[in-house]
Structure 1
Amino acid sequence: MTDSPQPTDIAALVRRIEVLEAEADIRRLQARYMFLCDTPLPEYGVEDDAGRIDRIMALYTEDAVWEGVGEYYEGQFGKAVGAAAIRKHFESFWGEKKDPALLLNCHYLTSEQIQVHGQTAEGQWVHMQPWLFSDGKALLRSSRLNNAFRLEPNGVWKITRTRTENVFIAPLPSGWASDYPSKSVLMK
């Protein structure tokens, strides 16, 4: 005869599963944010920056904070508190045509650490992103992310804080990338 599980054993297993599911949700949430920040935008059916920004804002809580910290990013990005201020931040980045235009920007996430504390969580990542502009200039940027998340009453995790700190920015030689698309068709 086998011993049946004790209620405390079942409760512990349920909690472990909840943590694993939270980590997976947060991982997808962070990856989605980065995906929506890529250029050209790979999200099928979004033809303008307003649609991109709407989708990004759907990932944030109303009371969220987006901030650049440290000696380089604090002055470059500053701090936006609340959904309206974060939207304005993104509109300043994508809301108008820039010269030179950004042709390529792709985010690569690594060094993930996620800590779940019940209905809240924090996550740290390092990310790299190449940038290519229409005037031929290019750079490679790396940042550390220390972000916070909250499980909303509807059971959906959202971002409550994006905090980014520069690791390095390195100029890349002209022509370092070739054969990049002007528009993504991956999700068609």
Structure 2
Amino acid sequence: MDDALALRLADLVARVEQLEAEADIRRIQARYMFLCDTPCPEAGVRDDAHRIDLIMDLYTEDAIWEGVGEYYDNQFGRCIGRQAIRDHFNGFWGKKRDPELLLNVHYLTSEQIHVDGDVADGQWVHCQPWIFSDGSSLLRSSRLNNLFRKEQGIWKISRTRTENVFVAPLTPDWAENFPRRSMLMAP
């Protein structure tokens, strides 16, 4: 093989690896959001403890999960390491809420992913409606600025950072129909 062809082939391999990394990161971020939805739409998720296990599989051992900015600093704080992140999620799903959270779904947009070898960063804007059992509802929007690292050939989240854009109350009963249980979980 001549040098020019070898260079072209190496360039194509690098470009494919870049695209594969971006696709893997996109899937990881979307899976994280999917697992955080209520009701949980992931097939086979038995309970919230199982859901948390699946979320934790997406993170590196030394990962950071944090809310930043004047609104999220006090609400979310900063968790360092998988156990602290697990404790955070146990605090969210591990207690009975009153009013009960009936619906929470994450919509991702404005994606940017930048890969540099075995590390990457990604930015998104997300919106999520929340509906509670007392009829109250709100719409949240946040900016995400997350880090990723490839470990043993698998991309993982090494930092989740979320910053509030807005929280807005929605009028009661704005959503007429929504499931109490995702049909994706049905046998």
What's the CA shift string for 1:105-143, capped at 9, x where partnerless? Answer: 000000000000000000000000000001111000000
Aligned partner of 1:173 in structure 2 is 171
CA distance in 1, matches of 2:46, 2:103: 16
Runs of 4+ residues deviating >3 angstroms: none
> What TM-score results when the alignment is normalised by the length of structure 1?
0.96
Aligned partner of 2:99 in structure 1 is 100
Aligned partner of 2:184 in structure 1 is 186
Aligned partner of 1:71 in structure 2 is 70
Alignment of 1:10-21 (within 5 A): 10-21=9-20
CA distance in 1, matches of 2:144, 2:22: 16
Alpha-carbon offset, residue 186 of structure 1: 2.1
CA distance in 1, matches of 2:12, 2:47: 45
2:51 equivalent to 1:52: yes
Alpha-carbon offset, residue 187 of structure 1: 4.8
CA distance in 1, matches of 2:179, 2:8: 53
Aligned partner of 1:24 in structure 2 is 23
Letter in 1 for 2:154: V
Q: Note if contact 2:135-2:173 (Cα within 8 Å) is conserved in structure 1.
A: yes
Alpha-carbon offset, residue 48 of structure 1: 1.1
- Count residues with an aligned counterpart: 185
Q: 1:164 aligns with which of 162, 167, 173?
A: 162
Letter in 2 for 1:16: R
CA distance in 2, matches of 1:31, 1:178: 26
> Percentage identity across aligned positions?
69
SS at match of 1:6: helix
Letter in 2 for 1:64: A
Which ranges of structure 1 fall in alignment gaps of 5 or more residues? none
